[in-house]
Amino acid sequence: MRTVGASQPEETARAEEPGRPAEHGRAGGAAGVKTARGTRARGTRQAQALAVALDDLPGFCSAQEIHAALRSKGETVGLATVYRHLQALTEAGSIDTIRDVSGETLYRQCGTSVHHHHLTCRNCGRSVEVEGRAVEQWAEKVAAEAGFTDVGHTFELFGVCPQCAG
């Protein structure tokens, strides 16, 4: 199991546990931007908590890990909401995603929004952002030679980071 952020007592945490008053809706305090009538911007308590968590986490982690991290900090955010925001952020390009060896999706807030790739520790999840001018060109060349169009790519590097190597 990957070790990310604050580890908790190994809770399954598949669904929100019942029995609590259920605190819905957005928070009042530091509200954010707002647009036209009815459009609430990313200012809910849950969204902010998630943003903070993403900022704190040093590397890629799964939605469930993020959810666990939130709970461990006392934040009450539903797992479904975590997934929702992660998906939204991903579509907006604010965060990056990679796939675990087991197929699980891992999320991370990157320093830059320009196209880049990652060298990720398969033990702790910490990752280095790398730009690969060379591979971008290689990809285009190969695609062009084969006559393929609308080409995209997926380049991921995995290894063991210096800290984990010990």
Partner DNA sequence: CCAAGATTGAGAATCATTATCATTACCAGT
Partner DNA sequence: ACTGGTAATGATAATGATTCTCAATCTTGG
In the list 37, 111, 112, 149, the residue contacting DNA (rule: CB under 7 A) is 37
The set of residues, in sequence order, having a beta carbon less than 8 Å from that of 82 and lying 6+ positions away, is 50, 63, 66, 67, 70
42-71 binders of DNA (CB under 7 A): 42-47, 62-64
Q: Cβ neighbours of residue 85 under 8 Å, at least 6 residues apart? A: 46, 47, 50
Q: Least distance from C-beta 166 to DNA, angstroms?
A: 27
Owner of token pair 């060298």: 119
> Quick one: 38 or 147, whose CB is closer to DNA?
38
Under rule CB under 7 A, residue 79 binds DNA: yes
62 binds, among a copy of itself, DNA, Zn ion, none (CB under 5 to 8 A by kind): DNA
Which residues have CB under 8 Å from 57's CB, separation 6+?
4, 5, 66, 69, 108, 109
Rounded to an integer, what distance in angstroms lies between the CA atom of residue 164 and that of residue 166? 5
Residue numbers at the binding site for Zn ion (CB under 5 A): 121, 123-124, 136, 161, 164
Q: How far is it, in rounded angstroms, from Cα 21 to Cα 55?
A: 29
Over the window 105 to 124, marking each residue x when it contacts DNA by CB under 7 A and - when it does not, the resulting string is: x-------------------
Binding site for DNA (CB under 7 A): 14-18, 20, 22-28, 31, 34, 37-47, 62-64, 76-81, 83-85, 87, 103-105
